[in-house]
Amino acid sequence: MNNLHDVWRIRFLHYINELQKYMKYVFTGHLAIVFVFVLGAGGYQYSEWLKTAPEDFPATWLVAVVIGILLAFSLPTTLIREPDQVYLLPLESKLMSYMRKALSWTFWSQLFIVVLPFVVAIPLLRQVSDVPPLLLGVLFIAILLLKWWNVHVEFAFRWANRGQGIWGDRFLRALISSAVLAAVFHTNPIYIVLLLIPVIFYFMAWNRQLNGQPFPYEHFVKMEQNRMLRFYRFANYFTDVPHIRGSIHRRPWMDWLYRMIPFQQENGQNYLVFRTFVRTDDTFYLWLRLTGLSALGAAFIGIPVVVMIFVGALAFASAIQIKQALSSSSEFRMDMLFPLAKSARKKSVEKLVRVVQVLQAIIVLIAVIMAGMEQGILFVLPLIIVVVSEITLRMSK
């Protein structure tokens, strides 16, 4: 490789290919349908609420604080690897040419995280706070500039402090970003000029501290590894990712549940499958998340057809993924030496899926009752969960 530009180009292409390889399994047709219905229902509820929104609703302050907090989370994407601690040392004086490309990608790749909420908030700002279109354009430019500032300050802070105290830095940047946006909202030029002083000073102070400091490879390598691990764990909910192994926790506070399975030889697989489900983080938390989303959708999505499709899709996702996670293990297990029928594990997995999906149906029913939904048809949601789960078990391999 001739220079660090080539290093970045090759790594960036590999990184994009890695994302595409797994994202095609994440955004499947089923998930797209769920997104369409959720966005449609959310948009309808939002538009209906805007018609009755109180005039004293603090829309500008709410948007300023939310976007300010989102701006503060500007984790740099450097694509630094562990061997760089040795191989890039001779080029460390030229490392900033590599980092400029990394920070540029960080800025553009994270821009939607703050632009999307701003676009969603435009109807609220126009109707409740009567923000003129010209001011919205100024706010958009301010958000872009603040995002650039947050990206570069977080990178400089991490370099200077090796990642220590990053949450204090984020709190301070969230405060400054929110204050700047609030000043722009209220078109107060004096406050804007005064707030530019800490913005410029904070940026210059941390960049000045980089002079003469060696690059903290260990911190940025660990940060990149954790970032990719989070992505692989997310993708692992939709397809098998060989890069990771699911973590396991005993969860002793749930030991009493094991006593519900009678101590008999024919229940050996029932006990093992249930214990595997409880102790495996990926499977257990997957079911908790999907159940929580189903309960929230049942409680807050006011359109019966949409909530039925939403809950049914999540019931399908829960049943199919739990079944595959507990059935697809090709590793040797001690229970393979026991005198049990080959079909015993399959039956135990299906029995567990039925039990946890009935529990999911009960939780959704409780959410509907607590929300006090007026549409009586929503009480059919538990039945939809049970039926969809049963069909999924029978139709899937």
Q: Residue 1: is its pLDDT beyond 50?
A: no
Q: What is the pLDDT of residue 306?
A: 79
Q: Which pLDDT score, from 0 to 100, does residue 370 have?
A: 82
Question: What is the C-alpha to C-alpha distance for residues 279 and 273, in angstroms, rounded to an integer?
Answer: 10
- Mean pLDDT, range 51-64, rounded to an integer: 86
Position 356 in a domain: yes
Residue 63 lies in a domain: yes
pLDDT over 80 at 61, yes or no: yes
Residues 262 and 298 in one domain: yes
Distance, in Å, from the CA atom of 328 to the CA atom of 283, rounded to the nearest integer, reads: 13
How far does CA 278 lie from the centroid of its chain? Answer: 22
* pLDDT, averaged across the chain: 84
Band of residue 329 on the pLDDT scale cut at 50, 70, 90: low
Residue 233 has pLDDT above 50, yes or no: yes
Do 105 and 176 have their domain in common? yes
- Let me know whether 186 and 309 are in one domain: no
pLDDT one-digit tens code per residue, 330-364: 555 655 656 666 677 788 888 889 999 999 999 99
In a domain, 206, yes or no: yes
Residues 95 and 43 in one domain: yes
3-state class (DSSP) for residue 65? helix
pLDDT band at 239 (very low <50, low <70, confident <90, very high): low
**Residues contacting residue 276 through CB under 8 Å, at least 6 positions apart:** 283, 326
Longest dimension (CA), the chain: 81
pLDDT of residue 175: 95
Which residue do the tokens 């650039």 mark?
Answer: 148
User: 234, 267, 290: which is the final residue of a domain?
Assistant: 234
154 plus 186 within the same structural domain = yes
pLDDT over 90 for what percent of the chain? Answer: 33
Locate all alpha helices (DSSP H) within 52-132, ordered by sequence. Answer: 59-72, 84-87, 95-127
Between the alpha carbon of residue 189 and those of residues 55, 111, 176, 194, 196, the distances in Å are 25, 26, 16, 9, 11
**Of the candidate ranges 4-13, 259-268, 282-291, the one whose mean pLDDT is the lowest:** 259-268
Neighbours of 339 (CB within 10 A): 6
Res 386 pLDDT > 50: yes
Q: How far apart are CA 85 and CA 217, in angstroms?
A: 6
Place of tokens 């309808």: 44
Distance from C-alpha of 182 to C-alpha of 129, rounded to nearest angstrom: 13
Mean pLDDT of 2-20: 87
Q: Which residues contact 302 (CB under 8 A, 6 or more apart)?
A: 41, 45
Percentage of residues in the chain having pLDDT higher than 70 = 88
Measured CA to CA, the distance from residue 111 to residue 84 in angstroms comes to: 28
pLDDT, residue 220, reads 92
Q: Which residue did the predictor score with more confidence, 244 or 93? A: 93
State whether residue 55 is helix, strand or coil.
coil
Domain that includes residue 276, residue range = 252-329+339-395
Is the separation of the CB atoms in 151 and 78 below 8 Å? no
Total domains in the chain come to 2
Q: Are residues 295 and 377 in the same domain?
A: yes
In a domain, 162, yes or no: yes
Q: For 274-293, what is the mean pLDDT?
A: 85
- Inform me whether the pLDDT recorded for 143 exceeds 80: yes
Q: What is the DSSP letter of 129?
A: S
pLDDT at position 224: 92
Domain boundary among 204, 234, 264: 234
Tokens 């999505």 belong to which residue?
Answer: 301
Least confident of 64-68, 304-308, 330-334, 362-366: 330-334
Q: Is the dihedral of CA 70, 72, 74, 75 positive or negative?
A: negative
Is the Cβ–Cβ distance between 79 and 17 less than 8 Å? Answer: no
> Is there a single domain that holds both residue 65 and residue 24?
yes
Q: Is position 176 within any domain?
A: yes
Same-domain pairing of 12 and 89: yes
Are 101 and 227 part of one and the same domain?
Answer: yes
